[in-house]
A and B are shown apart, each in its own frame.
Chain A
Amino acid sequence: MTRYKIGTFLKYLFLTIAAFVSVFPLLWMFISATNSSIDVLGGRLLPGSHLVTNFQNLTARANIPQAMWNSFRNAAVSTIASLIVCSVAGYGFEIYHDRGKDLLMRILLLSMMIPFAAIMIPLFMMVGNFNLLSTTTAFVLPSVATGFLIFLFRQSARYFPYELIEASRLDGLSELGIFIRMYVPVMRSTYATAAIITFMAGWNSYLWPLIIMQNADSRTMPLVLSNLIAGYVTDYGLLMLAVSISVLPTIAIFLLLQKSFAEGIIASAR
């Protein structure tokens, strides 16, 4: 009994320390958003009275609503587009039979191994030649079909009962109808997982928007944050407030889809 208690105590102690280590930076960021730059540099850990000043300075320094909207629009469009394309692809890979599909899947998975920096220049050439610089289309195109998402949807489709498809076919449902009416509702958790992953990647994306979003009006939040630390003098209170604002949408979306996200991860790992 005592040994059990000690074991539980140690377990909780370890988990508490681990939770503190992972939550502390976030907490410090929110606290620092209320402090002046000098206080932040001084390592102050208590909330201060500079939130309003920081907010006024930040709005004077950068167009935050515009950047938030740009980030949101880019991330949302890229999420919707890639969810449609990749889920259809993943479904097709699993449900329909073709001799070459496994080879094709392997090639797709290999594409995950290529770092973005390696394909950045040819992509930029394409986007430049199509006159798409500083547009959402340019942002979305490279991430519409990714090996990872197709793989995720294919893994999930593997556990989709084939009998359901056959029954639907007998009932006269078209192939597209089967996908939309049967597959999509059942795979809600996979969609949630894919949505969170793609949205976060789109929201935090830095290198690609950096080279294509060249107008001041098309700048996304990560680019604005980069501007805030590039001066000869950095206002850390203002910076922490900007970072705090920029993480809010991803936190909100994660909390909204948290349950489905966990289910989706487990389902795809089965």
Chain B
Amino acid sequence: MRKRLSLLLVCVLAFGLLGSSVALANKTVTVWAWDPAFNLYAMEEAAKIYNRTAPDVTIEIIETPWDDIQTRLTTAVMAGQTNSLPDIMLIQDNALMKNVIDFPGTFADLTNSGIDFNLFADFKVGLTSVDGKNYAVPFDNGAAISALRVDVLEQAGFTLADFTDITWSDFIAKGKVVLEKTGKPLLSIVAESPDLVMMCLQSAGTWLFDEDGEVFLANNEALKEVIRIYVELAKSGVMVQVNDWEQYISSFTRGTVAGTMNGCWIIGSIVQPEDQKGLWGVTNIPRLETVPNATNYSNQGGSSWVVRADSPNRDLAIDFLAKTFAGSVELYETILPSSGALATYLPAGDSQAYGVPHEYFGGQAIYADITQYAALVPQVKYGVYNYEARDAVGVAIAKVLAGLDIDSALREAEETVKFLMDF
């Protein structure tokens, strides 16, 4: 009897301990995100700021690559085990809408959570909302930049101003002069990657889907124009095609090309070689001249924070995001200098930290400039089948380069996407 009693006591104690650890765990908000120098660092700083007012809350950050987050998310939702997911996840903007629509009820609706979405760049709010509801707190800025080697431009008789607010035909004409005088192409791109095409398309405020969500490739005049430009860039030698991402990065870190065009997060890769310090400049991207309302501003990449809807810490997680990423200029001021993590939180753009000259870019206040670009990026809806459509456009580009006419290539691409949408 005594034995049984002691066993019972041990059990009660064990349950008690378990219970207390669960109670403690309720004060822990878990986060999945990738890149320690950028997103994880930002999250750690946010945790420090939040802990000033809520010292009993622990923000547990687990480094998880984006592809892995997507795999885990899909598996957990399909297995009905969403409790294995963290309270907060970082999601690529490209995939956000698809995940929200495919997995209804998984992400918390933040529309009436007290977070003021008017304080974020318009284009970013557009990417993180579905049917008028906000599902994510916008984070990093993917505003498109044209980063150029000013020293190479000078050798060809140009300045950075000659590449600012220009059209694509102007860019190609000047690029030919640079190539002729210095032997260096202006751009490099991973062969058949649709990134540049997507960037140009968004700069004209159009996308691969129309307003009703129908695939919009075969009759998309802006897209046809962009592919024409792509082909001309490639054939004139102003843009060189490389095989993979590593070669793309090394093309400008080794100085074999005189610039690159991408989301502003590419700055982290540009500033690696010490010997190119002070030789770079940043400006806006060229615009499409035949498309009405085309701009010199676009977006490439970027990600946002979502909250798990059925998390027991849901309200705490939302409060944390509201007071940091959606409410603290100080956070953005802190993370900018060492990570270059540019905000889409507009009040942060007025901060003095953004006006500080960047040595690598010859003293140019690039962050202030890029924040201005971000405010002017046209809003588009990426849509549920964004990845499928992007891939189809990539194939179409390869076919056009191989000699097929643009109309036929885009017709084929549209049929492929329609087939996948009906599948």
Residues of chain A at the chain B interface (Cβ within 8 Å): 37-38, 41-43, 61, 120-122, 124-125, 128-129, 133, 207, 210-211, 214-216, 223, 226-227, 229-234, 236
Contact B34 A120 (CB under 8 A): no
15 additional contacts, CB 8 Å, given A120-B75, A214-B84, A227-B63? A38-B273, A61-B36, A124-B76, A124-B81, A210-B71, A211-B76, A227-B64, A231-B34, A231-B37, A232-B35, A232-B38, A232-B268, A233-B268, A233-B269, A234-B246
Most interface-central of A41, A43, A211, A232 (chain B CB within 10 A): A232
Q: How many A-B residue pairs have CB under 8 A?
A: 79
Check if B13 is an interface residue, CB within 8 A of chain A.
no
Chain A proximity of B302: nearest CB distance (Å): 11
What's the Cα separation between A129 and B83 when bound, in Å? 11
**B35 A230 Cβ-Cβ under 8 A:** yes
Q: A211 to B38, Cβ gap below 8 A?
A: no
Partner of B34, one of A43, A133, A230, A236: A230
Q: Contacts A120-B75, A125-B81 given: A214-B62 contact, CB under 8 Å?
A: yes
Interface: B72 (CB within 8 A) = yes
A228 to chain B, nearest CB (A): 9
Q: Flag if B66 contacts A125 (CB, 8 Å).
A: no
B198-220 contact mask (Cβ, 8 Å, vs A): 1 or 0:
00000000000000000000000
The answer to whether residues A128 and B250 also contact, given A38-B272, A210-B71, A211-B72 and a CB cut-off of 8 A, is no
Measured CA separation A133–B30 after assembly (Å): 16
B181 touches A (CB below 8 Å): no
B80 contacts the other chain (CB 8 A): yes
Query: A200 to B313, alpha carbons, bound, how many Å?
Result: 40
User: Closest approach, in angstroms, between the C-beta of B232 and any C-beta of chain A?
Assistant: 28
Beyond A41-B246, A211-B72, whether A227 also contacts B81 by CB under 8 A is no
Closest to A133 in B: B84
Q: How far is the CA of A162 from the CA of B23 in the complex (A)?
A: 62
CA A125 – CA B82 in complex, angstroms?
Answer: 10
Tell whether A207 pairs with B71 under 8 Å between CB atoms, given A38-B272, A226-B65, A227-B63.
yes
Chain B contributes a number of interface residues (CB within 8 A of A) equal to: 32
Q: Which residues of A contact B254 (CB under 8 A)?
A: 38, 41-42
User: B298 in the interface, Cβ–Cβ < 8 Å?
Assistant: no
What residue in chain A is nearest B63 (Cβ atoms)?
A227
Please classify the interface of chain A as helix (H, G, I), strand (E, B), loop, or mixed, using the class held by over half of its residues: helix
Answer yes or no: B49 CB below 8 A from chain A CBs: no
Residues of chain B contacted by A124 (CB below 8 angstroms) = 75-76, 79, 81
Chain A residues within an 8 Å CB radius of B78? 121
Chain B hits for A215, CB < 8 A: 62
Partner of B66, one of A37, A207, A230: A230
The residue of chain B having its C-beta at the shortest distance from the C-beta of A224 within the complex is: B63
Shortest Cβ distance from residue B214 to the other chain A in the assembled complex, whole angstroms = 31
7 sampled A-B residue pairs with Cβ under 8 A: A37-B272, A38-B254, A211-B71, A230-B35, A230-B67, A233-B268, A233-B272
CA distance A214 to B38 in the complex (A): 21
| CA distance in complex: A70, B65 (Å) | 19
Tell me which of A61, A121, A229 contacts B75 (CB under 8 A): A121
Question: Among residues 174 to 218 in chain B, which have CB atoms less than 8 Å away from a CB atom of chain A?
Answer: none
CA of A203 to CA of B36, assembled, Å: 25
- When the two chains form their complex, are residues A236 and B246 in contact, meaning their CB atoms are under 8 A apart? yes
User: Could you tell me if B38 and A231 are in contact, using CB atoms closer than 8 angstroms?
Assistant: yes
* Nearest CB of A to B104, in Å: 18
Residues of B within 8 A of A43 (CB): 250
Residues of A within 8 A of B80 (CB): 125
Q: How far is the CA of A120 from the CA of B71 in the complex (A)?
A: 11
Shortest C-beta distance, B78 to chain A (Å), equals: 5
| Complex A-B, nearest 3 residue pairs according to Cβ-Cβ distance, in ascending order | A230-B65, A41-B250, A231-B35
Binary CB contact string for chain B from 265 to 296 against chain A (1 if under 8 A, 0 otherwise): 10011001100000000000000000000000
Q: Point out the residues of chain A lying under 8 angstroms from B265, CB to CB.
A: 232
A214 touches B72 (CB 8 A): yes
Q: Report B81 CB to chain A, min CB distance, Å.
A: 4
B129 at the interface (CB under 8 A from A): no
A38 to B78 Cα, complex, angstroms: 42
Contact, CB under 8 Å: A210 / B268: no
Is there contact, CB below 8 Å, between A128 and B72?
A: no
Chain A residue nearest in CB terms to B73: A211
